Amino acid sequence: MAASSYDAALARVLAHEGGYGNHPSDPGGPTNYGITLANYRRYVKPDATAADVQAMTFATAKAIYRARYWDALACDDLPAGVDYAVFDYGVNSGVARAAKVLRRKLALADDAAVALVLRAAGTAHAAKLIAAICDERMAFLQSLKTWPVFGKGWSRRVAEVRALALTMAAPPPRAPAVSKTSLATAGAVLAGSGTATAVALGQPLLGGRMVVSVVAVAVLGLAGLWIWRRWRAAREAREI
């Protein structure tokens, strides 16, 4: 994912995180935009209260996510799809855990340098790496004592992250190639019988504008042939 995609990634994260909440079973306590009271105290205001968290602006949350999660996990430099999977994992379960899991799935030491991690991620099979990260994430969440309370929502979130990340990692579809044989066949059909014959025979013609150009050339050719035949007939009539 490119650097300019941060806003889109954050929007997806916040769709899961929601607004302010203080669920009694959530160890994070007061949370807004997915930012817990502890993290708000760590990153913004050391003596913050639940009221401060509730009053947090979107701009503040966005700045925290950018510096403390996205940049901390070097998401700008990770492959498409892997970046989003790691980012969402970091938001949900902590940056330290997401970074450790990424390294382990790349068969690297927990303290491997960022440059080494990025190099390994860049050469890894993105889809397999995403699947491995999401599989580990699910296993970790299922091991938590709060799974009975939040498990359904977590399962849905991880499934959605997996699906979108895999889509992002998939290469764009390639346009069908037009072989030289197809071009030659189309040209021969047009020269012999015109465009209508080519369509009737189902020959592999070119697409879009090229077809229009070929048809135009064929029409002009037929018109020229008709004019030449009329001229020749008139000339023969004069000679008689």
Determine the residue type at 107. Answer: A
Burial class (CB within 10 angstroms; exposed 0-12, middle 13-18, buried 19+) of 232:
exposed
Helix (H) or strand (E) holding 35: strand 35-36
Q: Are residues 80 and 194 in the same domain?
A: no
Three-state DSSP state, 20: coil
Identify which of 196, 94, 74, 201 has the alpha carbon closest to the alpha carbon of residue 140.
Answer: 94
Q: Are residues 214 and 143 in the same domain?
A: no
* The pLDDT value given to residue 111: 96
* The pLDDT value given to residue 212: 47
The CATH number of the domain where 122 resides is what? 1.20.141.10
In a domain, 133, yes or no: yes
* The pLDDT value given to residue 137: 98
- What total number of domains does the chain contain? 2
* The pLDDT value given to residue 80: 92
* The pLDDT value given to residue 177: 61
Determine the residue type at 133. Answer: I
Residue spans of the chain under pLDDT 70: 1-4, 173, 175-240
In a domain, 175, yes or no: no
In a domain, 66, yes or no: yes
Q: Are residues 220 and 113 in the same domain?
A: no
The length of the chain, given as a count of residues: 240
6-61 per-position pLDDT tens digit? 888 899 999 988 788 888 777 778 999 989 999 999 999 999 999 999 999 999 99
Strand partners for 35: 32
Domain range holding 18?
A: 3-169
* The pLDDT value given to residue 200: 41
In a domain, 194, yes or no: yes
* Structural Rg of the chain based on CA atoms: 31
